[in-house]
Structure 1
Amino acid sequence: MTEKLLENHKIDVKVKLALLWASLMFLYIYADYFELMTPGKLEEMMQLKTPMGPTSPDLLIIFALLLIVPALMIVFSIFLTPQLCKWTNLAIGLVYTVISILIIITSIDSEWHRFYVLFNFIELFVLMAILRQAWQWPKKTETIN
């Protein structure tokens, strides 16, 4: 009697990294969307207030860059050379890990931001997976003539 087993293809580390960055983007988008439902958030936005101070063109560029970088990491994870991809993922992953930790520290005492803390803990798990995948990038040995 033969048993049919489900096939499990090996997924390239670049694809894993791209998928992890994509999932991180979804987490960012939904966390920010839910934050719009917290008391006073829309009023603060209408008054051009942010957690980092008054809204300004320069501050909006900083906020834009904070979301542009992980969005580009989806593409970079596929198209960069393995060496550059590994170190870019490690560097950017570490930066965003620190940001998530700081958000947890500043949000943990707020009852209305518990969901944000939850999102950031999940983001940390995704970022740890990114760092682990990049750090443990598979190596192959080649004979040099």
Structure 2
Amino acid sequence: MTIRTTTPNLLDNVPIPVQVKLAAAWTSFMFLYIYVDLFNFYKPGVVDGILNGLVWRFDISSTLLTIFLVSVSIPALMVALSMTLPAGVNRATNLVVASLLIPYSMFNAAGATWEWAAFYGLSIGLEVLLLAFILRSAWTWPRTPAVPAGPATTDLREDLRQ
């Protein structure tokens, strides 16, 4: 009787917990979200509008800036929540928040001209892809716990190999 043992390859992918995948996706989304807003300052007339007290067609006010702060805080909070909430609540929260952010992300194209279609198409497309990854990861979250690795399960695996 021979027992086959395999040595792990350094390039093998170790399983990544769903919480880590979600936190990484929310972090990527947050950086992309912020960079798109920063790059928007380079559009002609944007900075002049801000200096004149306008963002899009809205007067700059404490209410508007509070809304903007809440908007950019959502992905940042989701990074922490994805790592700390219990699995069931975590799954539901990610499904709800990601679903609500898809139309919100698409709103960025409102009023855009064809000249800026590539910029908005790419940025919104990448945001929606990240949100779709979040939705898929949360939706397919395993419902049963994995078999823990350790001495108790090692004996079980040895029996299977024989």
User: Please, what TM-score do these two structures have when normalized by structure 1?
Assistant: 0.88
**Where do 1:46-125 residues align within 5 Å?**
46-51=51-56, 53-104=58-109, 106=110, 109-112=113-116, 114-125=118-129
8, 13, 27: which one aligns with 2:13: 8
Q: Is 1:18 equivalent to 2:23 in the alignment?
A: yes
Query: Which range is displaced more, 31-40 or 111-120?
Result: 111-120
Partner of 2:19: helix, strand, or coil? Answer: helix
2:137 paired residue number: 133
Q: Is 1:43 equivalent to 2:30 in the alignment?
A: no
Paired AA for residue 121 in structure 2: V
User: Are residues 80 and 71 of structure 1, via their aligned partners in 2, closer, same or farther at CA, if it must alter by over 3 Å?
Assistant: same
Q: Pick the structure with greater CA Rg.
A: 2
1:30 paired residue number: 35
Percent sequence identity over matched residues? Answer: 36
Alignment: residue pair count: 140
- Structure 1 stretches of 5 or more lacking a match? none
Query: Is the 1:103–1:117 contact (alpha carbons within 8 Å) kept by the matching residues of 2?
Result: no
Once the two structures are TM-superposed, the CA of residue 127 in structure 1 deviates from its matched residue by 0.3
User: Are residues 41 and 108 of structure 1, via their aligned partners in 2, closer, same or farther at CA, if it must alter by over 3 Å?
Assistant: closer
- The CA RMSD measured in Å over matched residues stands at 2.1
User: Please, what TM-score do these two structures have when normalized by structure 2?
Assistant: 0.79
Partner of 1:39: helix, strand, or coil? Answer: coil
Once the two structures are TM-superposed, the CA of residue 110 in structure 1 deviates from its matched residue by 3.9
Within 1, Cα distance between the matches of 2:116 and 2:20? Answer: 36
Once the two structures are TM-superposed, the CA of residue 103 in structure 1 deviates from its matched residue by 2.2
